[in-house]
């Protein structure tokens, strides 16, 4: 099992940052809450700060645990651990994604999300 962190980043206006996986990556063309693999000895909040800096060149502040979803992509088992976070700054520069959007909770259902992220989309829609 691979532990992966996902950041549900709010911009201060109630919009959430979502990103589309680029061609050549697993789940290419699908949208996700950005994050990445948790390294040995690393906490999920620390992973999210590191990954968002590396992959999007932005600064975030993880705030609270949001949920966990275990998902199997074929023979690969991931545990996706989500935290709500605040966008602190930086200009978004895409490394592992080919597009991003700041979307309201109402708009999330219009995007095809990676299967592991769908339970988080549904939970966010229920929170409205």
Number of structural domains the chain divides into: 1
Range of the domain at 41: 2-121
Alpha helices by DSSP H, listed for 30-96, are: 44-56
pTM of the model: 0.94
Chain CA centroid to CA 97, Å: 11
Q: Among 62, 66, 81, 76, which Cα is nearest to 6's?
A: 81
Distance CA 20, CA 34 (A): 9
- In the predicted model, what is the mean pLDDT of the chain? 95
30 in a structural domain = yes
- Rg (the chain; Cα; Å): 13
90 in a structural domain = yes
At 23-73, the pLDDT tens digits run 988 888 999 999 999 999 999 999 999 999 999 999 999 999 999 999 998
Q: What is the CATH number of the domain that holds 25?
A: 3.90.79.10
């Amino acid at each position: 099992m691979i532990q992966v962190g996902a950041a549900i980043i709010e911009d201060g206006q109630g919009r959430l940052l979502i990103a589309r996986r680029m061609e050549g990556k697993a789940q290419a063309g699908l949208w996700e809450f950005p994050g990445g693999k948790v390294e040995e000895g690393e906490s999920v909040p620390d992973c999210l700060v590191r990954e968002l800096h590396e992959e999007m060149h932005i600064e975030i502040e993880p705030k609270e645990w949001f949920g966990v979803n275990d998902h199997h992509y074929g023979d690969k088992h991931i545990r996706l651990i989500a935290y709500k976070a605040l966008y602190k700054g930086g200009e978004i520069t895409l490394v592992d994604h080919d597009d991003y959007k700041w979307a309201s909770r109402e708009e999330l259902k219009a995007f095809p999300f990676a299967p592991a992220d769908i339970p988080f989309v549904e939970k966010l829609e229920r929170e409205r």
